[in-house]
């Protein structure tokens, strides 16, 4: 079914059914202007999806010589029909460089094999994994073949007629999901980044240490965008998009606290055991009665929440008899109190720019007494910083193991004085001297290492 939902630019929605799937449908959006067409996402690689998609597109009488396809992210309900739809057609297929690399690993590489091993380490059996090879829609309805795309980076622009759409990278739901933004109309195609009557699944990904932290950071980034109209990839939008982002953030705080309680009750458990203790929308079913594919998604999301706790030092992961096992590193009440502090800071700092990353403070390493013009400079593991003390956007040094130091935007130059070894890891920080700002002012700052909790 085709529905026109926006006038200028002309935006249509094709309702693509997703049979036997709790998502129910995909909203395939089609933008048209001056004879050009952009299709956004496709649906699963199955006949019901293809029939609905082609029927809707036929009503628009699009010129396939001037029709392109934008894929918001790698999931099969968004990419499944891409090579089928665009076969023997001259149009381009667009996708983020990050997600395209992950998709290649899934379709022609070893990523699924590594993922299967990870889930076995978290409590799944080999028999269950074998069943999921055919019963998981992420595998059963993927594209018929790997395909070429034009790879996109954050900030790239796609043009449809006279309209320009900015590509915004929002990692979390997938490592490289992209949303499209039309600045003049303040129109945002949210993909699966923001959904309104279901919560986007945030799962673990091979090669990604902290999917949930990435997702929450992406919500901060999105909050800074002026949005009048938000168009989700599934179901409907019946509320204010900023209120919905707040609800999603609060949902993850609640889920993190449930995870803390489960670890405290069953220390040394793997993610499947912990997931069974959490509250899921199972329509009255028990965990054992829950469909295996849905348990797989639930365990993946549980791992993402466990990763969040581990990355901030609130929990630790060990391998025991070939299985991952989790323990809290502090009392559960203290852990939840620290989480509350992070979320309290987020409420206090709403409205500040996304560079502050104010919701989600990673493990901190503080350069004590290192100041510049009244700013207390902090160094954070993972490249994040605290909003109340530093506005920073530029990177001076790229350190070992992905560590970064950010500077105040007025600072043009800072000289690294020495390296420090802490334990077995090499930390490159210490003294900075001859700090120069844009006015030519020079000042000296010195500091020493201190490690604090997040």
**Is residue 378 within 8 Å of residue 389, measured between CB atoms?**
yes
> What are the residue boundaries of the structural domains of the chain, listed by start?
2-239, 250-334, 346-452
SS (H, E, C) the chain: CEEEEECCCEEEEEEEECCCCCCCEEEEEEEEECCEEEEECCCCCCHHHHHHHHHHHHHHCCCHHHEEEECCCCCHHHHCCHHHHCCCCCCCEEEEHHHHHHHHHHHHCCHHHHHHHHHHHCCCCHHHHHHHHHHCHHHHCCCCCCCCCEEECCCCEEEECCEEEEEEECCCCCCCCEEEEECCCCEEEEECCCCCCCCCCCCCCCCCCCHHHHHHHHHHHHHCCCCCEEEECCCCCCCCHHHHHHHHHHHHHHHHHHHHHHHHHCCCECHHHHHCCCCCCCCCCCCCCCCHHHHHHHHHHHHHHHHHHHHCCCEEEEEECCEEEEEECCCHHHHHHHHHHHHHHHHHCCCCCHHHCCCCCCCEEEEEEEEECCEEEEEECCCCCCCCCCCCCEEEEECHHHCEEEECCCEEEEEECCCEEECCEEECCCCEEEEEECCCCEEEECCEEEEECC
Least confident range of 44-53, 99-108, 353-362: 353-362
**Among 138, 34, 147, which Cα is nearest to 85's?**
147
Counting Cβ atoms within 10 Å, is residue 440 exposed (0-12), middle (13-18) or buried (19+)? exposed
Question: What is the β-pairing status of strands 229-232 and 187-191?
Answer: parallel
Distance of CA 64 to the CA centre of its chain: 32
221-243: pLDDT as tens digits? 998 899 999 999 999 988 899 99
How many other CB atoms sit within 10 Å of the CB of residue 175?
A: 20
Residue 201 confidence (pLDDT) above 90: yes
What are 298-314's pLDDT values in tens digits?
999 999 999 999 999 99
d(CA 165, CA 174): 21
Phi, psi of 143 (to 5 degrees): -55, 150
| Whole-structure pTM value | 0.77
CB 435 within 8 A of CB 372: yes
Indicate whether 56 pLDDT > 60.
Answer: yes
The answer to whether residue 220 scores a pLDDT higher than 60 is yes
> pLDDT at position 256, please?
97
Q: How many CB atoms lie within 10 A of CB 237?
A: 17
Distance between CA atoms of residues 68 and 134, nearest Å: 31
Supply the Cα-derived Rg of the chain in whole angstroms. 23
CATH architecture label of 250-334: Orthogonal Bundle (1.10)
Q: Is residue 252 predicted with pLDDT exceeding 50?
A: yes
The residue among 155, 224, 238, 254 whose CA lies nearest residue 195 is 238
pLDDT of residue 61: 86
Comparing 101 with 416, which gets the higher pLDDT?
101
86-102 as b/e: b if 16+ CB within 10 A:
beeeebebbbbbbbbbb
The second-level CATH assignment, the architecture, of 2-239 is 4-Layer Sandwich (3.60)
Mean pLDDT score of the chain, rounded to an integer? 79
Burial (CB count within 10 angstroms: exposed 0-12, middle 13-18, buried 19+), residue 84: middle
Q: Does residue 430 register a pLDDT over 70?
A: no
Instruction: Supply the pLDDT for residue 233.
Output: 97
pLDDT in tens, 367-414: 333 333 333 333 332 333 333 322 222 233 323 333 333 333 333 333
What value, to the nearest 5°, has the Cα angle with vertex 318 and ends 312 and 321?
A: 160
Q: Give the pair of three-digit tokens for residue 129.
A: 């994994």
Query: Quick one: average pLDDT of 69-96?
Result: 97
d(CA 77, CA 418): 51
CB atoms within 10 A of CB 12: 20
In this prediction, residue 286 carries a pLDDT of: 86
> Are residues 223 and 245 in contact, defined by beta-carbon separation less than 8 angstroms?
yes
Instruction: Tell me what pLDDT residue 347 has.
Output: 54
Determine the Cα–Cα distance for residues 165 and 188; give it in Å rounded to an integer: 9
């Amino acid at each position: 079914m085709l529905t026109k939902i926006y006038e200028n630019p002309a935006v249509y929605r094709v309702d693509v059914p997703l049979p036997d799937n709790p998502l129910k449908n995909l909203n395939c959006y089609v933008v048209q202007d001056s004879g050009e067409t952009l299709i956004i996402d496709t649906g699963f690689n199955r006949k019901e999806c293809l029939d609905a998609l082609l029927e809707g597109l036929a009503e628009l009488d699009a010129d396939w010589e001037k029709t392109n396809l934008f894929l918001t992210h790698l999931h099969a309900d968004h990419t499944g029909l891409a090579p089928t739809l665009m076969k023997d057609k001259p149009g381009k297929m667009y996708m983020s460089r990050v997600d395209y690399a992950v998709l290649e690993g899934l379709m022609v590489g070893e990523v699924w094999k590594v993922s299967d091993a990870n889930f076995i380490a978290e409590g799944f059996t080999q028999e269950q994994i074998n069943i999921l090879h055919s019963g998981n829609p992420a595998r059963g309805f993927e594209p018929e073949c790997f395909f070429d795309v034009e790879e996109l980076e954050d900030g790239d622009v796609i043009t449809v007629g006279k309209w320009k759409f900015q590509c915004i990278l929002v990692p979390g739901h997938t490592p490289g999901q992209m949303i499209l933004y039309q600045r003049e109309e303040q129109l945002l195609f949210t993909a699966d980044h923001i959904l309104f009557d279901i919560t986007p699944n945030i799962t673990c990904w091979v090669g990604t240490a902290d999917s949930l932290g990435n997702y929450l950071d992406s919500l901060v980034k999105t909050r800074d965008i002026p949005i009048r109209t938000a168009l989700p990839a599934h179901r409907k939008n019946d509320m204010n998009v900023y209120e919905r982002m707040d609800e999603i953030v609060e949902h993850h705080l609640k889920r993190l606290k449930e995870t803390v309680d489960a670890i405290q009750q069953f220390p040394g458990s793997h993610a499947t055991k912990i997931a069974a203790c959490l509250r899921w929308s199972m329509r009255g079913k028990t965990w054992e009665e829950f469909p295996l594919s849905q348990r797989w998604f639930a365990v993946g999301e549980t791992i993402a929440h466990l990763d969040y706790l581990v990355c901030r030092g609130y929990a630790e992961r060990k391998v025991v008899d070939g299985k991952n096992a989790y323990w809290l590193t502090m009392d559960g009440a203290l852990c939840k109190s620290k989480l509350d502090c992070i979320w309290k800071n987020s409420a206090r700092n709403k409205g500040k720019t996304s560079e502050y990353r104010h919701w989600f403070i990673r493990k901190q390493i503080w350069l004590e007494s290192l100041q510049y013009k009244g700013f207390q400079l902090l160094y954070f593991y993972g490249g994040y910083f605290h909003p109340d003390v530093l506005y920073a956007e530029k990177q001076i040094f790229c350190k070992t193991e992905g560590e970064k130091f950010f500077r105040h935007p007025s600072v043009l130059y800072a000289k690294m004085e020495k390296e420090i070894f802490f334990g077995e890891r090499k930390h490159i920080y210490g003294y900075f001297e001859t700090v120069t700002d844009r006015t030519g002012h020079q000042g000296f700052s010195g500091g020493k290492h201190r490690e604090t909790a997040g």
